Amino acid sequence: QQKVQQSPESLIVPEGGMASLNCTFSDRNSQYFWWYRQHSGEGPKALMSIFSNGDKKEGRFTAHLNKASLHVSLHIKDSQPSDSALYFCADDTNAYKVIFGKGTHLHVLP
Amino acid sequence: EAAVTQSPRNKVTVTGGNVTLSCRQTNSHNYMYWYRQDTGHGLRLIHYSYGAGNLQIGDVPDGYKATRTTQEDFFLLLELASPSQTSLYFCASSDRGTGQLYFGEGSKLTVL
């Protein structure tokens, strides 16, 4: 069964620091991924998608995809306390059935 | 910004009770989804639909029914609620062109 594993479960970074979140997937046919962010008490919101090998940058956020190593990551530069949230990696390759990882709790300390 | 509205936001019922969670989207999206979120499990897909009258089974469908009455409205039904269904439920809609999911604010269900 197609799986998405996220690490670490929890991450603490200082304000202004770099946060790196990782995701591995099991299906070599997987090719389209989203990152979602969920603040406490809210529903998840899409951050960015990536489907090509390499990096994709949107502001302070950079997603990286390496299909050969079955790995996708999200890097947050200059982390802010408002970035504190639960982050999900999602495999959106198979139409209609998005597979989510269990999430990484990011805590940015002022 | 796409809008997905869920009701009720909080619900408490007893074992064996009947619960209906409602979801309305005003995005003109064809696809709608029901997920449950539990600590240690992330988001798990219960049911989804790609149009009025259509229903597809997700990954954790046992104990749940769903109905899509219009393009806008998607309902999740628990006819004999059990404590294991205590969870935070999210509805989402998507435009399959981009694949982006738009989530509601969630419905917290407690089954005593």
- pLDDT per position as a tens digit, B92-110: 999 777 789 999 999 999 9
Q: State the smallest CA–CA distance between residue B100 and chain A in angstroms.
A: 7
Q: Which residues of B touch A45 (CB under 8 A)?
A: 103
* DSSP string for B2-40: --EEEE-SEEEE-TT--EEEEEEE-S--SEEEEEEEETT
**CB distance B111 to B98 below 8 Å:** no
The tally of CA atoms less than 13 A away on the side-chain side of residue A88 is 25
pLDDT per position as a tens digit, A9-63: 999 999 999 999 999 999 888 889 999 999 999 999 999 999 989 999 999 999 9
pLDDT per position as a tens digit, A67-81: 999 999 999 999 999
CA dihedral (B6, B91, B102, B2) positive or negative = negative
Q: Which residues of A touch B33 (CB under 8 A)?
A: 98
C-beta atoms of B42 and A88 within 8 A: yes
